[in-house]
Structure 1
Amino acid sequence: MKNIFTSKLVWISAASLVTIAFISIILFHSTKTSVQVSANGDKELVRTHADTIDELLTELHIEKGEHDELSHAMSDTLEYGMDIEYSQAKTIEVADGASEEKVYTTASTVGALMKEKGIEVKEHDELSHKKNESLKNGMTLSIDRAFQVTLEDGTDEEKVWTTAATVDELLKEQSIAVDEDDRLEPKATASLDASTPVSITRVEKVVETKEEEMEYPTVTKQDGSLLEGKEKVVSKGKAGLIEREYEVTKVNGEVEDRVITKETVKQESQDRVVAVGTKEPEPERQTAVASASASNTSSSSSSGSASSTLQMEATAYTADCAGCSGVTATGVNLNTNPNKKVVAVDPSVIPLGSRVWVEGYGTAVAADTGGAINGNRIDLHVPNKSEAFGFGRRSVEVRVLD
């Protein structure tokens, strides 16, 4: 009986211990505090015996850094149903133009960080990331600040916004092509800032072909059948035709240079041949001629005119011709005086500086010479080529006034 009693006592003791342990466990868990913890956006319901926020974070293995954000003070007492928010700060490198700064933030997006730090990005600035992009620890955020540059392209000038670091980058940004012959200032590799104007001088080289008249020379030959001092046109001569190829350089649309690169004679010119008399007059004839000359001189003097009249072959020319300088043999600048009445003469026939009257042309000054102007030949200056071609070649009366 004693053994049975002892056995029952052992079982009752064991059952009591189990019951006490079970009750203790129930009491332990029933005394836990339930709180909502949001750590870096992840929410979790936590049951804890911690008395303070600090103890709770230690229990959750969370170490609060200097720049981290916590919804409560570390010393706050935990209460049932408390909502605790914790955000760990991220380290972000911000390169704003030429300045660089390391910032700490708990913002979740690029835009939120910029708002938090008061960073403004204007219309033409360039931001390395989109504003709705999530921030990541260690991220580098770059802002290229735009500035205005004066851009002159040929005859067009404008101010453009850019973030380009060099002239070449600006041209690519603006989709501007610069040809080999164009002139770029400053050079493509030069650094760019608001005080650096960019200029493109547009250079165009084109080939032009023109047919131009070749002047014909005057050839004289002695003729014993003509009296000395007399001349006779044996052959009128004919202008030739030459085709000239020019390389024309245009700068911003204006002609800067014109160079002959090729010449092709299409039609040879024909010489003008003049017979010059060498026959000496007979003595009687000479006396008669002298008498007549004296009579004419006397008659001219009595009428008050000191002029002499010649029948000459006339052509017309302009200062704007191939190989012409536009300045006459006596220094008259026909480029600046395109309407001046000037004639080219043979000085042995009409002295330079003489005032002459030309039939169909008017009063002019003998101020020029020409390689083909020999003997009774005269060349009349006109303002343009169309008038020169229109005049052609004709016989005119020329009166030497003084």
Structure 2
Amino acid sequence: MNKEKVTKSIYIWVAAVSVLCITFLVMASYEFTKKPVQVSQNGQKEIIRTHANTVKELMSEMGITVHQHDELSHKLSDPIERGMDVNYIASKRIQLAIDRSNTEQYNTTASTVGEFFDEQGLEFQERDEVSHDLAAPIEQGMDIEVQKAFQVTLHDGGEKEKIWTTATTVGDLLKDQQVELSDLDQLNVSEEEIVKADTPIKITRIEKMTDTVEEDMEYAVETRRDESLPKGERKVLSSGENGLVTKKYEVILENGEEKSRELIEETVQKESRKEIIALGTKVEEEKAPVTVASASSDKKEARVVQASAKPSNKQDDTKTLQMHATAYTANCAGCSGVTATGIDLKENPDRKVVAVDPDVIPLGSRVWVEGYGTAIAGDTGGAIDGKRIDLFVPSKSQAHSYGRKQVTVKILD
């Protein structure tokens, strides 16, 4: 009985071992018949042993679905061969926006941004702005933005320059160009305005400065009638002396050029000293006629002799002069507004009065001045010497606009 059991156990073990051997041989035979293939998937390489007959079956066996834009080194229908090297790169979907208004989607197998641009035949300049470095790896769903540079004309303080920019707003452009504005500077467009190639940007540089100047303050001339001097004779009783006034102006400059000037302060540093002139009014009396009897005749004959009679210098023709003319007002620094002959110009702003050199045109004469009309020679001045004449006008603006002219002057009487 025991012998039978032992024999039976031996048969069972032999059968089991036989089955295992057969299974091993079958499996070994199955594995041995597989073909080794090197597959590179997105850069990762591995050796695959497969019974697949085609590349498509191999991809399916590896769980890879090949899409239209993917990159595969072989056709899906190609047969599998022992030692085959299969390369597969899956495409990635990305978005490219150029100038913020033109956005497109792409499927690419490029590994870097630079390779993607080469793949699409896109070229950009160094001055263009790209959101990613060219060496940056392509990632699924990546958003790439490119802002192409364009030229804008910038006028800064009168200087014109064409610059390349990718700025969106005027403020961004000024910041990129390191252009700073002061509180007084003026910009022709708002800093928030969108930069456009056909819209020049103009900056007017405004400067406010103070200019202090010193000016002579002309002395006034006072004429006093003197009955002890012969008529028309002049004698200086007290010499005049110019004063000194400091004037402070607020000056506005636009792009370096003076735009306006306003007097904000005036200080008299030294008062002028009036010149006092004595003007003779004494008239010489003419002697009475003397009757002289002739001794050469029995009959007395008398003849009249005029004593101390002076020949007349008066000419029938009007005296005409060519003179340098300027203009003045009654409100100049140190002026009283009363002329040398006593005319109050402030009370008579429309009066035609000229300042003259009495040695050339006697005070009190009526004169005609080209462009001014008929006037009275009623004033003098420290700077009026020789053939110079100063015309009275009501306002400083008229005096400034008159300037200096060469005029014809006729002495009427």
Shorter chain as denominator, the TM-score bin is 0.7 to 0.9
Paired residue for 2:83? 81
TM-score normalised by the chain length of structure 2 = 0.71
Of 373, 376, 392 in structure 1, the residue corresponding to residue 380 of structure 2 is 373
Shift of 1:376: 12
Equivalences for residues 293-332 of structure 1 within 5 A: 295-297=311-313, 307=319
Of 75, 91, 94 in structure 1, the residue corresponding to residue 93 of structure 2 is 91
2-side partners of 1:353 and 1:166: how far apart? 67
Paired residue for 2:401? none
Paired residue for 1:173? 176
Q: Is the 8 A contact 2:154 2:160 kept in 1?
A: yes
Shift of 1:150: 1.3
2-side partners of 1:238 and 1:371: how far apart? 21
Q: 1:28 to 1:376 in 2, by over 3 A?
A: closer
Paired residue for 1:184? 187
Paired residue for 1:206? 209
Q: 1:370 to 1:156 in 2, by over 3 A?
A: farther
2-side partners of 1:282 and 1:41: how far apart? 132
Of 36, 39, 42 in structure 2, the residue corresponding to residue 40 of structure 1 is 42
Is 1:351 the counterpart of 2:366 in the alignment?
A: yes
Is 1:241 the counterpart of 2:252 in the alignment?
A: no
Of 271, 276, 287 in structure 2, the residue corresponding to residue 273 of structure 1 is 276
2-side partners of 1:14 and 1:87: how far apart? 48
**TM-align CA RMSD:** 4.1
Q: Is the 8 A contact 2:367 2:412 kept in 1?
A: no
Of 15, 30, 33 in structure 2, the residue corresponding to residue 31 of structure 1 is 33
- Name stretches of at least 5 consecutive residues in structure 2 with no aligned partner: 290-304, 333-353, 391-408
Q: The residue matched to 2:8 in structure 1 has which SS?
A: helix
Paired residue for 1:49? 51
2-side partners of 1:286 and 1:278: how far apart? 22
2-side partners of 1:376 and 1:164: how far apart? 63
Q: Which protein is bigger by CA-based radius of gyration? A: 2
Q: The residue matched to 2:145 in structure 1 has which SS?
A: strand
Is 1:164 the counterpart of 2:167 in the alignment?
A: yes
Shift of 1:354: 5.2
Shift of 1:38: 0.8
Paired residue for 1:72? 74
Deviations 1:280-332 (A, max 9, x none): x5864799999856x2247x56xxx76599xxxx9x997899x99xxxxxxxx
Q: The residue matched to 1:353 in structure 2 has which SS?
A: strand
Shift of 1:350: 4.2
Q: Is the 8 A contact 2:220 2:382 kept in 1?
A: no
Q: The residue matched to 2:52 in structure 1 has which SS?
A: coil
TM-score normalised by the chain length of structure 1 = 0.73
Paired residue for 1:218? 221
Q: 1:239 to 1:35 in 2, by over 3 A?
A: same
Q: Is the 8 A contact 1:53 1:78 kept in 2?
A: yes
1-side partners of 2:410 and 2:59: how far apart? 124
2-side partners of 1:350 and 1:257: how far apart? 41
1-side partners of 2:376 and 2:206: how far apart? 38
2-side partners of 1:158 and 1:34: how far apart? 68
Q: The residue matched to 1:104 in structure 2 has which SS?
A: strand
1-side partners of 2:366 and 2:184: how far apart? 51
Q: Is the 8 A contact 2:368 2:410 kept in 1?
A: no
Shift of 1:56: 2.1
Shift of 1:370: 10
Q: Is the 8 A contact 2:244 2:271 kept in 1?
A: yes
Paired residue for 1:111? 114
Q: 1:350 to 1:118 in 2, by over 3 A?
A: farther
How many residues are treated as equivalent by the alignment?
Answer: 348
Residue identity in the other structure for 1:176? V
Residue identity in the other structure for 1:109? T
1-side partners of 2:259 and 2:186: how far apart? 14
Q: The residue matched to 2:196 in structure 1 has which SS?
A: coil
Shift of 1:41: 0.7
Residue identity in the other structure for 1:353? W
2-side partners of 1:31 and 1:286: how far apart? 171
Residue identity in the other structure for 2:368? G
Paired residue for 1:151? 154
Q: 1:82 to 1:64 in 2, by over 3 A?
A: same
2-side partners of 1:370 and 1:297: how far apart? 20
Shift of 1:378: 5.0
Q: Is the 8 A contact 1:231 1:276 kept in 2?
A: yes
Residue identity in the other structure for 2:84? M
Is 1:256 the counterpart of 2:259 in the alignment?
A: yes
Q: 1:319 to 1:231 in 2, by over 3 A?
A: closer
Paired residue for 1:63? 65
Q: 1:319 to 1:112 in 2, by over 3 A?
A: farther
Shift of 1:74: 2.6
Q: The residue matched to 1:296 in structure 2 has which SS?
A: coil
Paired residue for 2:337? none
Deviations 1:216-241 (A, max 9, x none): 22334455555676654432322110
Q: 1:29 to 1:276 in 2, by over 3 A?
A: same
